[in-house]
Amino acid sequence: MENIHMLIDGQWVGNKDDQWINVINPASNEKTTQIVRGNLQHADLAVQAAKQALKSKEWRAFKPFERGQFLHETARYIRDNAEELAALESLDTGKPSAQATSDVEAAARYFEFYGGMADKVFGDTIPVEADLLNVTVIEPIGVTLHIVPWNYPIQITSRSVAAALATGNVVIVKSSEDTPLSTNFLAKWFHEKLPKGVFQHVTGYGAEIGAALTSHTGINQITFTGSVPTGISVMKSAADNVVPVTLELGGKSPNIVFEDADLERAIPAIVNSIVQNAGQTCSAGSRLLVAESIADEVLESLMKKFCQLKVGPPVHQADVGPIINGKQYERILGILADIGKDAKLLTGGQAVKVDGFENGFYISPAIIEAADHDSAFVQEEIFGPVLSVIRFKGIEQAIELANATDYGLVAGIWTKDIDKAHYTAARIESGQVFINSYGAAGGVQMPFGGYKKSGIGREKSHLAVQNYIQIKNIAIQIRL
Ligand code: TXE
């Protein structure tokens, strides 16, 4: 595959004098391509070009409805190329083809959704005095930086880029060093269709070009998805320049299964919520809180399902793909090796050698019953196919345990009792609560974001445009 170049100021950047980083296919641990190791100078060039583009006549000439039309065209382009995009996404991440296909469809939906909003974001008229016409005008916030992780590259790029372009901003995307392919594919489209500098794609290490951008004085807004420590450092850089951040930092989300739950619905959803994308999902249902009285039955069903899951590369039509890279793989195996003597590994948790893909990063989906909810593996985001289980007695203990982590992204509640469901939902500290479902088909329309250390701000939904605008109040004194 050809090397991936950065798109800066309308030019494809990267030559023999640059340093290059190998991009690895996690299904086989083989090199697929190379990206440019972006540096301070690249960061500065991108920011200067973005500032020019923001002021340019060409970008300002796009009327809001034309931005909307263009975003709809982008959605069509994604759908027309869905097969190729899904193949690239699978190659980059190792995720099963069906998952990659649904990620590509979600990406198209983001462009449609925010395309539809482009000409519907407007200000107010405020009654102050009879001779004062007071209005608010909505303006783009400016140069927006999008730092994208490796778990859902096309979805996460699309969700914030679509909202930012809809509202007239310019964007710089820093893709993950592990997964540049789908963003590069989109970059080619934007390069052809938009004025130079409106969409730019940079590559390289987070600690290098990523940090150079987050601390750059020319950046006006940052959307970051990734780990808590990196999110904190992004926020500190942003604070130095008094720049707003939207942070989506993952979770340790509980599925709470009460004794009256409909297990036929609950069990498959619980399995999917932790094995989807090999557990490398911010909203993974990685903690199972189960009522003591039904715990044995639930665990038996889950173990059966886990044992039926096929682990392997996309070409094997597997259910569970590889872990993204060697570092994450070793980290997860380390956690599994260190669960403590009182915890019980009920199934899985082993390194798997797949025929023909022996160097891929595969782990069999694991269930661990914890003796202590404070154990590290129950508290920390493992980001692998590992389900931690705790039994509870009564609704109050279920709620207490559900809230007893630093995170608060998503929760699932399983019960046929509407009062119990509502009582629990009201007490859960998380940005999204699902009752008798989990994930609800992604939901481009639903606000998504965290309480506590799961983040700041909301992505998705009509609310996300708030991240990309600023409000100007204009007071006009009228001579009556
Ligand atoms: O994340 P990082 P990593 C969590 C998950 C995982 C852990 C570590 O628990 O096990 O994070 O993964 C860029 N300035 N999530 O190390 O470092 C980096 O290049 C600016 C949750 O991969 O946060 C990449 O593009 N940018 C999650 C992105 O940040 C920096 C998704 C994420 O990298 C940077 C992924 C810096 N100093 C991991 N350092 C979710 N919420 O879905 C790195 N980056």
Below-70 pLDDT ranges, the chain: 440-442
Q: How many CB atoms sit inside 10 A of residue 305's CB?
A: 18
pLDDT at 439: 86
CA distance 349 to 335: 10
Residue that is written with structure tokens 């107010």 in the block: 124
CB-based burial, 110-127: b 16+ in 10 Å, e otherwise = bbbbbbebbeebeeeeee
CATH for 438: 3.40.309.10
Pair 77, 179 in one domain: yes
CB-based burial, 43-64: b 16+ in 10 Å, e otherwise = bebbbbbbbebbeeeebeebeb
Query: Is 480 contained in some domain?
Result: no
Pair 157, 57 in one domain: yes
Atom 7 of ligand 1, residue of closest alpha carbon? 227
DSSP for 227-293 reads: -HHHHHHHHHHHHHTT--EEEE-----EEEE-TT--HHHHHHHHHHHHHGGGG--TT---EEEEEGG
Question: Residue 221 phi/psi, 5° resolution?
Answer: -160, 145
- Please tell me what DSSP assigns to residue 468: G
Catalytic residue among 89, 177, 282, 459: 282
- Identify whether the C-beta of residue 275 lies closer than 8 Å to the C-beta of residue 285: no
Residue length, the chain?
A: 480
Pair 259, 313 in one domain: yes
Q: Is 233 in the pocket of ligand 1 (CB under 6 A)?
A: yes
pLDDT at 301: 98
pLDDT at 136: 98
The first and second tokens of residue 110, run together, are 């983001």
Query: Is 448 contained in some domain?
Result: no
Query: Is 468 contained in some domain?
Result: yes
What ligand 1 atom has the least distance to the C-alpha of 147?
25
Pair 194, 341 in one domain: no
Pair 243, 280 in one domain: no
Query: Is 452 contained in some domain?
Result: no
Mutation test of ligand 1: which of 23, 219, 223, 227 has the most ligand atoms closer than 8 Å to its C-beta?
227
Query: Is 1 contained in some domain?
Result: no
- Identify whether the C-beta of residue 102 lies closer than 8 Å to the C-beta of residue 82: no
Pair 25, 173 in one domain: yes
Query: Is 450 contained in some domain?
Result: no
Pair 208, 240 in one domain: yes
pLDDT at 443: 86
Name the pTM for this structure: 0.97
pLDDT tens digit sequence for 197-235: 999 999 999 999 999 999 999 999 999 999 999 999 999
Give the residue numbers spanning the domain of 269: 254-443
Mutation test of ligand 1: which of 147, 173, 448 has the most ligand atoms closer than 8 Å to its C-beta?
147
CATH for 68: 3.40.605.10
Q: Is 239 in the pocket of ligand 1 (CB under 6 A)?
A: no
Pair 286, 241 in one domain: no
State in Å: Cα 288 to ligand 1 middle: 25
- Identify whether the C-beta of residue 368 lies closer than 8 Å to the C-beta of residue 388: yes
Atom 28 of ligand 1, residue of closest alpha carbon? 149
Catalytic residue among 89, 112, 177, 248: 248
Pair 130, 244 in one domain: yes
pLDDT at 19: 97
User: What is the separation of C-alpha 49 from the centre of its chain, rounded to a whole number of angstroms?
Assistant: 27
Atom 42 of ligand 1, residue of closest alpha carbon? 282
pLDDT at 341: 86
State in Å: Cα 477 to ligand 1 middle: 50
CA distance 405 to 402: 7
pLDDT at 174: 98
| 187, β-bridge pairs | none
Q: Which of 47, 30, 62, 6 is nearest to 313 (CA)?
A: 30
pLDDT at 393: 97
- Identify whether the C-beta of residue 105 lies closer than 8 Å to the C-beta of residue 82: yes
178 to 55, 252, 284, 328: CA distances (angstroms): 33, 23, 20, 12
Query: Is 449 contained in some domain?
Result: no
pLDDT at 480: 80
Q: Is 227 in the pocket of ligand 1 (CB under 6 A)?
A: yes
- Active-site residue, 282 included: yes
pLDDT tens digit sequence for 387-441: 999 999 999 999 999 999 999 999 999 999 999 999 999 999 999 999 999 986 6
Pair 137, 212 in one domain: yes
Q: What angle is formed at CA 204 by the lines to CA 3 and CA 234, rounded to 5 degrees? A: 155
Q: Is 286 in the pocket of ligand 1 (CB under 6 A)?
A: no
Q: How many CB atoms sit inside 10 A of residue 101's CB?
A: 18
CA distance 415 to 262: 7
> What ranges in 276-362 are assigned the alpha helix state H?
295-308, 326-337
Q: Is 248 in the pocket of ligand 1 (CB under 6 A)?
A: yes
Pair 470, 431 in one domain: no
Query: Is 286 contained in some domain?
Result: yes
Q: Is 202 in the pocket of ligand 1 (CB under 6 A)?
A: no
Pair 91, 202 in one domain: yes
Q: Which of 2, 1, 34 is nearest to 18 (CA)?
A: 34
- Active-site residue, 307 included: no
What ligand 1 atom has the least distance to the C-alpha of 324?
22
State in Å: Cα 304 to ligand 1 middle: 33
State in Å: Cα 176 to ligand 1 middle: 8
Considering its fold, how many domains does the chain have in total? 2
